[in-house]
Chain A
Amino acid sequence: MKVKIGFEIHLQMATDQKMYCDCPTNYQDVPPNTNVCPICTGLPGSKPLPPNERSVDAAIEIALMLGCEVITDQTIYIQRKHYDYPDLPSGYQRTSLPIARNGELQAIRIREVHLEEDPGQYDPVAGAVDYNRSGVPLVEIVTEPDIRSPEEGRSFLRTLTRVLEYTGKVRPEAGGAMRADVNISLEGGGRVEVKNINSVKGAYRALKFEILRQREKLKRGEAVVRETRAYLESQMTTVPMRGKELEEDYRYIPDPDIFPLILDKARVETVKKQMVEAPHLREQRLVKQYRISPAAAGVIVSERELADLFEAVAKEVDPKLAATWFRTKLKKVLNYMKLRATDIKFTPNQLSRLLQMVGRKRVTPEQGELVLRELVKEPSEPEELFRKLGLAPLERSELEAAVVKALKENPKAVEDYLKGQKEALNFLAGKVMKLTRGRADPRRITKLLLTKLKSKRKRRKISRRKARSKLSRA
């Protein structure tokens, strides 16, 4: 049975100010109803300010990122969509006619992109509304019904959020900011709309459930009627919405208090020039420009800040060394500390100097990793961290002394090695490491150990020979 799935996705745009007033948008960081004014609470007589230019530019950038054609030199009305809900201060939500059309991402066609505003947050239990979120700019992305499975849907949403987060123009999904409505129909059944989905996971589960439900119905010979259902996060199922919600007529009218938008070509060009490179394109460029492996490039572009950092560092040090470090050590340290690239506080210069030290073999990769960890925790100059960690390079004589001491104190291991038990070498190296408190390069330790052991063997052979010759002489 052929499945057709389409999405309507709402994401908050990352602007400092709301859409139609100057209130800040960090609604989660402040006590309820503090980021508010007469405009975003819809007090009688309040009028919207002209639409926030930054959010309009952000929506244009997002549309371009999705390969859309921006609608230029035409009036784009901002409409009032009327419905009655406690979180809506004025009884309507402002939503624009499409600002862009005909995009594509992962072979899924993007039908159109709109500008919207978020309502407040209603707490039905407390019967209270927090208007901090009211008026935060949203972008609405509508796809064609090109998605064929819940898995494809999930993958599309993940890519979409990654691409959009990459622009820096939407709030990261971690903030719980994504909301989606899905349309889903099976061959031979009516189209069902599911609302109330708040995450990628939720979309996947809602789709899974709906396909199952619709397929079973069709199998039994029942009709799947065209309807609107709500997703219940707690039960991972969907239920029909009440009749009243269904018949809702939003009575759209152009908002008389706002001039329609007209996006001129020059503005779109400006946004185009300033916008960040799409991640998939950047990946290809990094491979070509820096001759690094596609695997490393893939990791590097996964976060824009990581890629920016890489390109800054690659100017100063061998890009291949940098790429290896980004893909392995840096990623490992960040993952271990549960950090994202945006959280990095050290400067590209600091990382460059560390990698230069590694490159010139002034420090070992292992020591380098220790320094990197410190760098992430508490940024300062790598040389300083190096000293602080007591990793100052070892004099050759010190290392030799340690090796000699280790050999002397562990005659059994020496004996074993000389008898051909190679593991004994690791044991001895460990002892030297301990004696030098980890400051020595393991490769140097092994090398020196081998030299000493070789000469020991030689001496022993000689002495044995001498002994034999003495015997023979005797």
Chain B
Amino acid sequence: MGRGTLEKLDAIRRGELSAVENVQQVLERIKKQDKRVKAFIELNPHALAEAEAIDRKLKRDERAGKLAGLAIGVKSNLNVTGLRATCASRTLEDYVSTYDAEVVKRVRAEGGIVVGMNNMDEFACGSSGETSAFGPTDNPAAPGHIPGGSSSGGGASIAAGLCDLCLGTDTGGSIRNPASHCGVVGVKPTYGLVPRQGLIDLGMSLDQIGPLSPDVQGAALLLETIAGKTPNECVMLDVGRVSYMSRLEGDGVKGMRIGVSPKFAELTDPAVTEVIDGAVEKLRDLGAEIVEVELPNLERGLPTYYLIVSVEFFSATRKFDGRKYGKRIEDVCGEEVLRRILRGRYISRKEYRGKYYQRALQVRTLIRQELMRAFERVDVIVGPTVPKLPHKLGTALTPMEMYAYDYLTVPANLAGICGGVIKAGEVGGIPVGLQIQGKVLGELDVLKVMWAMEAAT
């Protein structure tokens, strides 16, 4: 890695490093390391040609875009024309995209070069990166451990320097969880800020696309590239293009009201809590006001989340009926995907609607209100991202043990608010990420806290 994202961009703009050289270096590293890491499922055969085109633009002083020459990894549940959007499943192993997801269009318009499709948990159903039909991803920051999921390939490729930035997706923590385990930066934007057109669904009312990056500025840059309304999508917030980079500087966290909750420690491994407490102290030292907030229903988020996501996933996967994409999902998918489909099919039955799905939507409203009340008193809420340290690859976990990884990340998805993760420290050499949850469209506050944390380490 060596230099930060902005420095690299500058070097490319000044001609010290060409886009082609950058992509070549990335491909070289992938070639050397990815047999072990398994962060990519497929590489873009046109990446070098696209880099050449960027270099030509730069040479002629044409506008090449704010990501000009950066190598971008894309999660395999996003459509990139000509590449396979497999969702790391046998179901879609032969599905070649015929169109670019809106976020991919935006990245390309700003000169970003898609180097390949990242590995992930199958259909984003998992928190460890182990459910991919193409094999589990390793954690470069803690080899032999899970990188977290479901954006496992994204987190791992940033940690190993296999690309500059990644597009991940987060339905219940899928960006923040691997960011925490891999010690990188990740942001789950406010629901409705980033267009989902071209994202293959897990839970439509929860999914958001966001950046994974080695540093805060990289995340801010990628986020402002992909954020903002498109008239071609229905369920979006009425927000035009946003700018974070120009507003990151300033007083840092001085005077910022930062919320913490004793609830977090109840659910979290003490070793992780210790690291998080250290980070909170650091923020206090930097001038933030630490405020305790009440989150009495926090742990109800998990069952609520799994009911909602299962029903929506069941609905979303009905198109994989074996007639159009070759394979019927239920016939070829892994255990966790099947479990969610069957659960969704079961609880959406007419006679159970009031009992499960409707009830889950009510609890969701409750959790949203609770968080909104907390945000009346604070600008952000900080705490641990994942309650536990990542397990060793191959360890057998029960479904409930696996789901428990998501306790602290699902509330943000249920409430539709934003959240970011930055490395707070380590436990025995394994990274621990601080989660910063922000208000609806509070991305700037989240980025500011991360920026302050980054500067202080």
Residues of A within 8 A of B (CB): 38, 42-51, 80, 82, 84, 86, 89-92, 249, 251, 253, 256-259
Contact = CB atoms under 8 A, between A and B. Distances in A.
A44 B92 contact: yes
Interface in B167-207: 196-201, 203-205
Contacts of B317: 91
B315 A253 contact: yes
A45 B323 CA distance: 17
A258 B234 contact: yes
B318 interface: yes
A47 B323 CA distance: 20
Given A50-B234, A258-B234, A259-B235, A45 B318 contact: no
A86 B232 contact: no
Given A44-B79, A90-B318, A249 B200 contact: no
Given A47-B232, A91-B318, A253-B348, 4 more contacts: A38-B98, A38-B99, A86-B323, A249-B350
Give the interface SS of chain A, mostly helix, strand, loop or mixed.
loop
A422 B198 CA distance: 88
Given A251-B349, A251-B350, A92 B233 contact: no
A90 B318 CA distance: 6
Nearest to A85: B321
A360 to B, nearest CB: 58
B240 to A, nearest CB: 17
Contacts of B350: 249, 251
B321 A256 contact: no
Contacts, number: 81
Interface of B: 77-79, 85, 87, 92, 95, 97-99, 101, 196-201, 203-205, 232-235, 311-312, 314-315, 317-319, 321, 323-325, 345, 348-350, 357
B318 A47 contact: no
A256 B416 CA distance: 13
Given A89-B319, A90-B319, A44 B95 contact: yes
A49 B102 CA distance: 13
A77 to B, nearest CB: 12
7 contacts: A47-B233, A49-B232, A89-B319, A90-B318, A91-B315, A253-B312, A253-B348
B205 A256 contact: yes
Q: Which of B79, B203, B315: most chain A CB closer than 10 A?
A: B315
Contacts of B196: 47
Nearest to B78: A45
Contact of A45 (B85, B232, B311): B85
Contacts of A86: 323
Nearest to B345: A251
Contacts of B323: 86
Contacts of B95: 44
Contact of A91 (B311, B312, B321): B321
Contacts of B314: 251
B91 to A, nearest CB: 10
Query: Which of A42, A51, A86, A256 gathers the greatest number of chain B CB atoms within 10 Å?
Result: A256
A90 B85 CA distance: 17
B401 to A, nearest CB: 28
The 9 closest A-B pairs by CB, nearest first: A91-B318, A256-B204, A256-B205, A251-B348, A90-B319, A45-B198, A44-B200, A45-B200, A50-B234
Nearest to A91: B318
B235 A258 contact: yes
Nearest to A22: B232
Nearest to B95: A44
Nearest to B350: A249
A259 B79 contact: no
A142 to B, nearest CB: 19
A92 B321 CA distance: 12
Nearest to B207: A256
B98 A43 contact: yes
Contacts of B78: 45
A418 B78 CA distance: 100
Given A44-B85, A251-B350, A253-B348, A49 B99 contact: no
Contacts of A80: 315
Contacts of A46: 197-198
A252 B261 CA distance: 38
Nearest to A258: B234
B347 to A, nearest CB: 9
A261 to B, nearest CB: 11
Contact of B235 (A90, A91, A256): A256
Given A44-B79, A47-B234, A256-B312, A91 B98 contact: no
A51 B95 CA distance: 28
Given A45-B85, A251-B350, A91 B319 contact: yes
A43 B99 contact: yes
A257 B315 CA distance: 12
A253 B311 contact: yes
A164 B348 CA distance: 36
Given A45-B85, A84-B318, A92-B315, A253 B357 contact: yes
Most chain A Cβ neighbours within 10 Å, of B99, B234, B325 = B234
A51 B233 CA distance: 10
Contacts of B234: 47-51, 257-259
Contacts of B321: 84, 91
A54 to B, nearest CB: 16
B232 to A, nearest CB: 6
A42 B311 CA distance: 18
Contacts of A259: 234-235
Given A38-B98, A253-B357, A47 B315 contact: no
B229 to A, nearest CB: 12
Contacts of A42: 319
Nearest to B351: A249
A152 B101 CA distance: 53
Contacts of B348: 251, 253
A389 B319 CA distance: 64
Contacts of A256: 203-205, 235, 312
Contacts of B357: 253
B387 to A, nearest CB: 28
A50 to B, nearest CB: 5
